[in-house]
Amino acid sequence: MNIVLFVFSGTGNTRFAAQAIADRFDGETVKLRSIEHHMDDAQKDVDDSDLVGIGYPIYGSDLPKIVKTFLANLTGKGKPCFVFCTQLLFSGDGAAVGGRLLRKRGFSVRWQEHFFLPNNISDVALLRLFKRAAPEIIRERTLRKAAAFVRRIRRGHLCRKGSNPFSLALGLLQRIPFRAMEESWATTRLRVDKDLCVGCGICVNACPTDNFVLVEHKALPGKACTLCYRCVNHCPVGAIHLAGNAKVVAYRGPKNETTWQELSGDSF
């Protein structure tokens, strides 16, 4: 069986879960593809595969803008598909949101799953309480859930996490206010402390939407932020903020060692 797994990962959580899933398809051919680098040529991989997977982080029970754009350019033609999302606490219908979009594009979405991983919002002091408690337990839990998810897929047992009415209602309670503020945050909230910025260019190279430029050796954000927090967590001097103003305590994946080069590469 040929499998293609498209993934967007801002700071490493979804990448970790995707690799765990791919590793458990032992004996199969699995291609991991970075969504940000395959916006225009993904359809060929879809057409050549027997099974398609989509993985993304969930924001306010919704998909990142970059993932929505990616899915809008795919055509499923009845291809079987699985979807998973990574989240901090609960998203309601986080995986089902992507599943609904994929069904509209012609995919047969049979499996949906949620993975709980640490918070990457590193500039809000209160949210740090949820960041790194028992990381070994979190990693092992993710590996076990990935194994169970792949077993269901291989056996053909449907798994549609987030598709029940309660999950939908819970998702809407988060998604409606999130969508109301998403565009404002994407265009105005991202900011750089010019006194701290050293002009290293990491944010320019790491950003999945090319939202930074260097002007007089200082990073300048644009208005195309996808709210992924990659720049915030990989700025070496903590000069970038998005949601809050607290001192940044960087989060770089479940093992705290994911590099921006790994995340921004054309495949994992």
Q: What is the DSSP string of 54-104?
A: EEEE-BTTB--HHHHHHHHT---TT-EEEEEEEESS--SSHHHHHHHHHHH
Question: pLDDT at residue 137 above 80?
Answer: no
pLDDT, greater one: 113 or 267:
113
Q: Would you tell me how many other CB atoms lie within 10 Å of the CB of residue 188? A: 11
Would you say residue 175 lies in a domain?
A: no
**What integer pLDDT is reported at residue 133 of this predicted model?**
52
- The answer to whether residues 148 and 194 belong to one domain is no
**What integer pLDDT is reported at residue 267 of this predicted model?**
58
**What integer pLDDT is reported at residue 154 of this predicted model?**
95
Q: How far apart are CA 11 and CA 252, in angstroms?
A: 6
Paired with 56 in beta bridges are: 85
Q: In the chain, pLDDT over 70 holds for what percent of residues?
A: 96
- The answer to whether residues 141 and 23 belong to one domain is yes
- The answer to whether residues 35 and 57 belong to one domain is yes
Q: In the chain, pLDDT over 90 holds for what percent of residues?
A: 69
- The answer to whether residues 135 and 38 belong to one domain is yes
- The answer to whether residues 190 and 145 belong to one domain is no
DSSP H helical segments within 122-201, as ranges? 135-155, 165-184
Would you say residue 177 lies in a domain?
A: no
- The answer to whether residues 27 and 105 belong to one domain is yes
Q: Which two tokens stand for residue 8?
A: 């967007």
Residue 240: DSSP 8-state = E
Question: pLDDT at residue 138 above 90?
Answer: no
Over the stretch 139-187, which tens digit does the pLDDT of each residue have?
A: 889 999 999 999 999 999 999 998 999 999 998 998 999 999 998 888 9
Q: Would you tell me how many other CB atoms lie within 10 Å of the CB of residue 218? A: 16
- The answer to whether residues 80 and 156 belong to one domain is yes
Whole-model pTM: value is 0.92
Domain total in the chain: 2
- The answer to whether residues 154 and 193 belong to one domain is no
- Provide the terminal-to-terminal Cα distance of the chain, rounded to the nearest Å: 20
Would you say residue 189 lies in a domain?
A: yes
Question: pLDDT at residue 136 above 80?
Answer: no
Confidence of residue 76 (pLDDT cuts 50, 70, 90): very high
- The answer to whether residues 89 and 48 belong to one domain is yes
Confidence of residue 266 (pLDDT cuts 50, 70, 90): low
Would you say residue 85 lies in a domain?
A: yes
Q: For the residues 13-21, what does the mean pLDDT come to?
A: 95
Question: pLDDT at residue 243 above 80?
Answer: yes
- The answer to whether residues 126 and 255 belong to one domain is no
Q: How far apart are CA 217 and CA 247, in angstroms?
A: 22
Give the domain extent around 187. 183-264
Point out the least confidently predicted range of 44-48, 127-131, 254-258: 127-131
Give the end of a domain, one of 120, 148, 170: 170
Confidence of residue 255 (pLDDT cuts 50, 70, 90): confident
